């Protein structure tokens, strides 16, 4: 009987808990092979979790919201990592619209039983101080919600070093990916253990 049970456990291993990454080019390994990106580099550090990279280059908060219900239904994640808004900002979209979309993303995720790790996103200073502050305030406000862990925008550590950036000055390069994984891991670990 014990041998049969052991065979069943080996044949049908316990399902790893799932982390869903909902993001844009900063998570989609833009300009490099997917296996070189920070998400893939972080996988060995979270061996009991399955990381599903649903990031899409050019994605806006509205696009992420449209895709989310199907992703939640298929992945049934324990944690949803949300890093959206950069493309909203670069296109000059309203912070009010950004907040509405991110609020719905958080609501849907929590209603599905997932915790949320929300990354701050910042817009370039040439968009004006008032716009940049209104944009940043969206993340600060949503980060106080129950079930949400807020993380600071990792790019503030990367963009200051030109050797870590691609030629476009917007996207981190392959050399930056291990550093990004190192920055991200404590936030993921904290969000996974948050009550």
Contact 86, 56 (CB under 8 A): no
Q: What is the DSSP string of 56-74?
A: -TT--HHHHHHHHHHHHHH
Contact 104, 79 (CB under 8 A): no
- Determine which one of 24, 25, 49, 114 is catalytic: 25
DSSP run (H or E) holding 19: strand 17-23
Catalytic residue check, 168: yes
Contact 39, 51 (CB under 8 A): yes
Catalytic residue check, 25: yes
d(CA 159, CA 179): 12
- Determine which one of 49, 161, 171, 190 is catalytic: 171
Terminal Cα-to-Cα distance of the chain (whole angstroms): 38
Catalytic residue check, 49: no
d(CA 15, CA 53): 18
* Dihedral angle, C-alpha 144, 86, 121, 159, nearest 10 °: 170
Which residues are marked as active site? 25, 168, 171
């Amino acid at each position: 009987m014990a041998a049969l049970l052991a065979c069943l456990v080996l044949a049908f291993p316990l399902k790893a808990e799932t982390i869903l990454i909902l993001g844009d080019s900063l998570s989609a390994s833009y300009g490099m092979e997917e296996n070189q990106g920070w998400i893939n580099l972080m996988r060995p550090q979270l061996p009991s979790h399955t990381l599903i990279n649903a990031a899409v280059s050019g994605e806006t908060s509205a696009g992420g919201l449209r895709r989310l219900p199907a992703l939640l239904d298929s992945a049934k994640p324990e944690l949803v990592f949300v890093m959206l808004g950069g493309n909203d900002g670069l296109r000059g979209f309203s912070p009010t619209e950004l907040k509405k979309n991110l609020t719905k993303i958080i609501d849907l995720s929590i209603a599905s039983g997932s915790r949320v790790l929300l990354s701050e996103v910042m817009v370039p200073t040439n968009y004006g101080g008032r716009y940049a502050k209104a944009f940043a305030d969206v993340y600060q406000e949503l980060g106080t919600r129950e079930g949400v862990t807020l993380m600071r925008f990792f790019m503030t550590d990367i963009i200051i070093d030109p050797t870590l950036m691609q030629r476009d000055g917007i996207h981190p390069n392959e050399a930056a990916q291990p550093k990004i994984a190192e920055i991200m891991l404590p936030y993921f670990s904290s969000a996974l253990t948050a009550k």
